[in-house]
Amino acid sequence: MRKGSRGGRPPGFDVERSKTSYHRELSIARKAIGWCQRQGGIDGDPPIGIERRPTPPDRTKALAEKQIAAL
């Protein structure tokens, strides 16, 4: 850790939102790079090796029919 750095996450840091932002920004970057490649401005594929972050499986459960009827 650098001298003088606070470490940890910044106030208000939300891990799930961070993953969503990362995926959205990665998608935007890939689209922009693809456009630049088609225009002839970029050779190669700069985002090679940059992958989506793994997301945990959805463990939410659907309501049972009785629970839905009770609503």
pLDDT reading at 15 higher than 70: no
Write down the pLDDT at residue 12.
59
* pLDDT higher than 80, residue 4: no
Note whether residue 33 is domain-resident. yes
**pLDDT of 24-68, one tens digit each?**
888 888 898 889 989 998 888 777 777 777 777 777 888 888 888
Q: 60 lies in a domain?
A: no
Q: 37 lies in a domain?
A: yes
Residue with tokens 């050779």: 43
Structural domain harbouring 32: 15-53
Decide if 7 is inside a domain: no
Would you say residue 23 lies in a domain?
A: yes
Do residues 33 and 7 lie in contact, with contact meaning Cβ atoms separated by under 8 Å? no
What span, in angstroms and rounded, lies between the C-alpha atoms of 25 and 45? 16
Assigned token pair, 21: 């932002």
**29 domain-assigned:** yes
Confidence of residue 7 (pLDDT cuts 50, 70, 90): low
Q: Is residue 44 part of a domain?
A: yes
Number of domains, the chain? 1
- Higher-confidence residue of 40 and 1: namely 40
